[in-house]
DNA sequence: TACAAAAGTTAGCTTTGGCTAAATTTTGTA
DNA sequence: TACAAAATTTAGCCAAAGCTAACTTTTGTA
């Protein structure tokens, strides 16, 4: 293989740092995105999103969910009266829809590429937060192309 | 498009939780992996890895690097006398090599797929930590296939 | 309808990985 | 060689996101 010089050594410190900074930024929104996405799913599945189910599906304890829901409230993404189930605000619904689309694009892409359905779902959970618009568009185009062929 | 049922609603709570747990586990090793990978690069590039350069390339401050290097020392991945530059242990070298290979596979795959070199490097920094062995193998095979054609 | 079980919340602890400020050590140069 | 600049470290702060224990509220059923 010819040397296409695509290794990190050829990048400037600034370019390299911006990639790492993007990862740290992504980590800060991951929790919020996972929660609204899951809340939207649970509402669609059950008609309501209850903290106990969020905890079960995320694999964390109820107090952790309770604390994180407070952050979503502060950020205006959900509405919840104490001891009641959760509704999404308009803003929350929009974010959830965007996250669900992105998740779907990543999963469909991995499956189209030959990854098993189970592993695709598993890996997508992590990958989806680190895919730029450019890469997402390429994934989407690839999947559509494969579907035609 | 036919419904291939590849949405999260069709998964059991346990299956879904295991994906989220994997993401949390990956986050715990990300820092370590980024550091040893970068240290190996700097040694190759400059003959030595100095904390000040690690800080610059990661986009964090020197005290942050100093603190995190202590963790790498505790874990037996690097050797460093105070105020001196850093060497990798055999274990550190092996981990760095594995990380660099995985990074390279992800970048080459994205480029083969049509993503620009710059964005490929940028996205890979986040994606590489969330790619299972199965998916990595599929990426690698795809890149080799494209190179032939 | 009373009460036990389930669900939700609060309080408080832990770890991780950022940060600034300040101290120490090394390096490079006048 | 002395000293200023650069590099490294230490101390101490903060926020995020996990946890357990204990408390409150709601739900379901005997």
Q: Where are the domains of chain A?
A: 17-148
CATH class name, domain B27-148: mainly alpha
CB contact under 8 A, A123 and B131: yes
At residue B26, φ and ψ (nearest 5 deg) are -60, -40
Residues of A whose CB is below 8 A from B16: 57-58
Confidence category of residue B10, pLDDT binned at 50, 70, 90: confident
pLDDT of the residue at B101: 97
pLDDT tens digits, one per residue of B30-83: 999 999 999 999 999 999 999 999 999 999 999 999 999 999 999 999 999 999
Which parts of chain A sit beneath pLDDT 70? 1-9
**CATH 1.10.10.10 describes domain A17-148:** yes
pLDDT of the residue at A80: 96
Average pLDDT of chain B?
A: 94
pLDDT of the residue at B2: 39
| A46 CA → D27 C1’, Å | 18
pLDDT of the residue at A78: 98
Going by C-beta distance under 8 Å and a sequence separation of 6 or more, which residues neighbour residue B124? A19, B103, B106, B107, B110
Chain A window 124-143: which residues touch B at a Cβ cutoff of 8 Å? Answer: 124-127, 129-132, 134-135, 138-139, 141-142
Beta pairing class for A87-88 and B87-88: unpaired
Give how far A46 is from chain B: nearest CA, Å: 10
Q: What is the DSSP string of A74-115?
A: HTTSEE--TTS-BEE-HHHHHHHHHHHHHHHHHHHHHHHHT-
pLDDT of the residue at B7: 59
pLDDT of the residue at B126: 97
Going by C-beta distance under 8 Å and a sequence separation of 6 or more, which residues neighbour residue B74? none
pLDDT of the residue at A136: 98
Confidence category of residue B149, pLDDT binned at 50, 70, 90: confident
Question: Residue A34 and residue B23: Cα distance in Å, rounded?
Answer: 11
Beta pairing class for A78-79 and A87-88: antiparallel
CB contact under 8 A, A13 and B122: no
DSSP 3-state assignment of A1?
Answer: coil
Nucleotides of C under 7 A from a protein CB: 6-12, 16-22, 25-26
Question: Residue B106 and residue B111: Cα distance in Å, rounded?
Answer: 9
The residue-averaged pLDDT of B119-126 equals: 97
pLDDT of the residue at B8: 61
- Cα–Cα distances (Å) from B30 to B16, B51, B101, in that order, read 22, 18, 15
CB contact under 8 A, B123 and A104: no
Question: Residue A113 and residue A95: Cα distance in Å, rounded?
Answer: 27
- Sign of the dihedral defined by the CA atoms of residues A91, A93, A95, A101, in that order: negative
């Amino acid at each position: 293989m010819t040397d296409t010089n695509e290794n990190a050594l050829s990048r400037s410190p600034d370019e390299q740092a911006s990639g790492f900074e993007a990862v740290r930024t992504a980590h800060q929104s991951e929790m919020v995105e996972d929660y609204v996405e899951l809340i939207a799913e649970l509402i669609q599945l059950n008609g309501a999103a209850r903290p106990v189910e969020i905890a079960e599906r995320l694999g964390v304890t109820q107090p952790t969910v309770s604390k994180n829901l407070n952050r979503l409230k502060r950020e205006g993404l959900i509405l919840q009266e104490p001891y009641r189930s959760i509704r999404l605000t308009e803003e929350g619904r929009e974010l959830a829809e965007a996250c669900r689309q992105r998740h779907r694009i990543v999963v469909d892409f991995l499956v189209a590429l030959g990854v098993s359905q189970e592993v695709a779902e598993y890996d997508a959970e992590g990958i989806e937060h680190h895919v730029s618009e450019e890469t997402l568009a390429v994934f989407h185009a690839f999947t559509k192309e494969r579907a035609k062929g």
